[in-house]
Structure 1
Amino acid sequence: MGRTSKDKRDVYYRLAKENGWRARSAFKLLQLDEEFQLFQGVTRAVDLCAAPGSWSQVLSQKIGGQGSGHVVAVDLQAMAPLPGVLQIQGDITQLSTAQEIIRHFEGCPADLVVCDGAPDGSCCSSGSSWKRNKRLIYVACHQVIVTGLHDVDEYMQAQLLLAALNIATHVLKPGGCFVAKIFRGRDVTLIYSQLRVFFSSVLCAKPRSSRNSSIEAFAVCRGYDPPEGFLPDLTKPLLDHSYDPDFNQLDGPTRIIVPFVTCGDLSSYDSDRSYPLDLEDGSEYKYTPPTQPPISPPYQEACTLKKKGRLAKEIRPQDCPLSTVDTLPQPLAAPPCHTLLASEVEDNEMNCSP
């Protein structure tokens, strides 16, 4: 597969590189801002699950460019530095992470909290197409990269969103805004119900740059207004509705109705369409390398094996480094051997190229 194959079939991937964005997801936040004016009056913003940093790039330009703006990016993975962005390599389920964010803001709460994260089991932060695979893939000795099992992916994404919401309750000011990726699955109304406990307005938005073939959308929550007497506590689950016994007066999937909004000019590029590389002005197309290759992607070892021609060979447990999976109880242990196919990591080859 040539280097330009992804440029042909994903116009936003190509435009992201040409415009200096670290990932195509930058256009999603830009289109959300066009629709909802998310950055208006914002001086302190937090980007959760920030790697590889495209949303932090947008925030640094839209907010940090105002001079008095502050942007904090949080992720478990290391991220290449960005001007005007403070990076915290930490866990969004830990109180220490929330405290560090507040310390950076000198005790003031944030105006905006965004989260474009997805669990490793559903997609990679580099925006790869592995999530479209329909089978469980083991790479580099039992590390799960993608499931393709929608119920599992939706559950994991919901838990990640709740973790982001939980930390937002620690750092977000009253009236603030929270934007997070959501998978529109069968039980998504339960998440909407939870968000409505804390925000006066909740919308489901689908940017033009988000593929129609994807169940991905974004919950845009405005007017942070926690229930009276609510005390943020990362040790307690949010999804119990114990804060307001009169809130759920309706039962079933109709208890919360959330408007669905599309974002972006309908005449703009279609994210599901393949575009030719021939430029409209007649100039010659030139390949543009990624702005910032992933520092430590979860598929890195698989790419190394592919370069050595070992992906089609059986991987023995003794050839793999010790991982957390190896320490699990025996009933949960993965099968001892896995066969990897070159076609399953083809789309990520360019991200691993030197």
Structure 2
Amino acid sequence: MSGGSKKGGGSKSGSRTTGSAPGTSRELTVKVKTAKRRKLSSTLWLQRQLNDPYVHEAKRQGYRSRAAFKLIQLDERFHILKPGLRIVDLGAAPGGWTQVAVQKVGGKKGSIVVGMDILEWDPVPGAITMQGDFLADDAPDRLKEALGGPADVVLSDMAAPTTGHPSTDHLRIIGLVEVALHFALEILTPGGTFVAKVFQGGTEKTLLDQLKKNFTTVRHAKPPASRQGSAETYVVAMGFRGSVE
């Protein structure tokens, strides 16, 4: 599921250069000194956060995470979210995707957004927010009850904790996608859409075959907001055929 946030303190050096951020004119590049009790990895993470234009823009627009822009960019390309739709957001914390979903589909009769994450997270206005392990036996029923009917879109930004071993990490995230897809096949309305995070290299053949069997269109996409060094990409399956095989 979604990982926790990282925090770190420490002083900043005076070495700065200019750079640009989405929707803003200029931002500064900040170098962070390694604090006595902070690991180098934490220092690099903090430096990356301070210099990430999407982090700054998320704060400016009131999104809870930079990940909101990943869904915005996927939606701009594939037109996933429309007023009146019923959305399930898996791995939702801290709520950036849920916020975007509410903005895109809310305000019209029949629309509903339900989000779930294993982590505790603050409610998102206009959405039903739930804490729980999606892998728990009762999770699908809880989501179905909250939704009160079929879903038009199932979103999954779930990610298992990384081990640093690419093959293991790939298998872990594919396992989450498979569980999310099984749920999507149970709850999606015909014509519905399934979006899930995977690693670069795409999906396993068996999973890809299942997606192609149950959806008319299957695409892989890496939105610009995904960090360059990240192995994540997304599978977008559209046009649910309405039958499970």
- What is the TM-score with the length of structure 2 in the denominator? 0.75
Q: 1:153 aligns with which of 169, 180, 205?
A: 169
Contact 2:117 2:132 in 1 (8 A): yes
Which residue in 1 is equivalent to 2:190? 174
Deviations 1:152-210 (A, max 9, x none): 11111100111111111222111100101011238644432231122111000111111
Question: Following the alignment from structure 2 to structure 1, what is the Cα–Cα distance between the partners of residues 142 and 56?
Answer: 36
Question: Following the alignment from structure 2 to structure 1, what is the Cα–Cα distance between the partners of residues 114 and 224?
Answer: 26
Contact 2:202 2:235 in 1 (8 A): no
Q: 2:154 aligns with which of 113, 116, 140?
A: 113
Question: Following the alignment from structure 1 to structure 2, what is the Cα–Cα distance between the partners of residues 163 and 171?
Answer: 13
Contact 1:175 1:223 in 2 (8 A): yes
Contact 2:93 2:119 in 1 (8 A): yes
Name the CA shift for 1:78/1:219 in 2 (closer, same or farther; >3 Å).
Answer: same
Structure 1: gaps spanning 5 or more residues:
123-146, 231-242, 244-354
The one-letter amino acid paired with 1:10 is: D
Which residue in 2 is equivalent to 1:59? 101
Residue range with higher mean Cα deviation, 185-194 or 64-73: 185-194
Q: How many residues align?
A: 203
Higher relative contact order (CA 8 A, sep 6+): 1
Name the CA shift for 1:202/1:73 in 2 (closer, same or farther; >3 Å).
Answer: same
Instruction: Tell me how far 1:76 sits from its aligned partner.
Output: 1.4
Contact 1:93 1:167 in 2 (8 A): no
Deviations 1:242-293 (A, max 9, x none): x4xxxxxxxxxxxxxxxxxxxxxxxxxxxxxxxxxxxxxxxxxxxxxxxxxx
Question: Following the alignment from structure 1 to structure 2, what is the Cα–Cα distance between the partners of residues 212 and 83?
Answer: 32
Contact 2:177 2:198 in 1 (8 A): yes
Q: 1:81 aligns with which of 94, 110, 123?
A: 123
- Greater Cα radius of gyration, structure 1 or 2: 1
Percent identical pairs in the alignment equals 37
Which residue in 2 is equivalent to 1:22? 64
Which residue in 2 is equivalent to 1:342? none
Name the CA shift for 1:7/1:118 in 2 (closer, same or farther; >3 Å).
Answer: closer
Q: Is 2:225 the counterpart of 1:209?
A: yes
The one-letter amino acid paired with 2:115 is: A
Deviations 1:197-229 (A, max 9, x none): 2211100011111123222111000111254xx
Contact 2:160 2:173 in 1 (8 A): yes
**SS of alignment partner, residue 94 of structure 2:** coil
The one-letter amino acid paired with 2:233 is: A
The one-letter amino acid paired with 1:195 is: L
**SS of alignment partner, residue 66 of structure 1:** coil
The one-letter amino acid paired with 2:122 is: A
Instruction: Tell me how far 1:10 sits from its aligned partner.
Output: 1.4
Structure 2: gaps spanning 5 or more residues:
1-9, 13-29, 31-46
Deviations 1:292-340 (A, max 9, x none): xxxxxxxxxxxxxxxxxxxxxxxxxxxxxxxxxxxxxxxxxxxxxxxxx
Which residue in 2 is equivalent to 1:296? none
The one-letter amino acid paired with 1:150 is: P
- What is the TM-score with the length of structure 1 in the denominator? 0.53
Name the CA shift for 1:32/1:61 in 2 (closer, same or farther; >3 Å).
Answer: same
Name the CA shift for 1:38/1:80 in 2 (closer, same or farther; >3 Å).
Answer: same
**SS of alignment partner, residue 65 of structure 1:** coil
Q: 1:192 aligns with which of 187, 208, 218?
A: 208
**SS of alignment partner, residue 18 of structure 1:** helix
Contact 1:200 1:224 in 2 (8 A): yes
Contact 2:83 2:107 in 1 (8 A): no
Question: Following the alignment from structure 1 to structure 2, what is the Cα–Cα distance between the partners of residues 174 and 186?
Answer: 25
**SS of alignment partner, residue 101 of structure 2:** helix
1:1-354 → structure 2 map (5 Å cutoff)? 1-2=10-11, 5-40=47-82, 42-66=84-108, 68-106=110-148, 108-120=149-161, 122=162, 147-185=163-201, 188-227=204-243, 230=244, 243=245
Instruction: Tell me how far 1:95 sits from its aligned partner.
Output: 4.9
Instruction: Tell me how far 1:7 sits from its aligned partner.
Output: 4.9
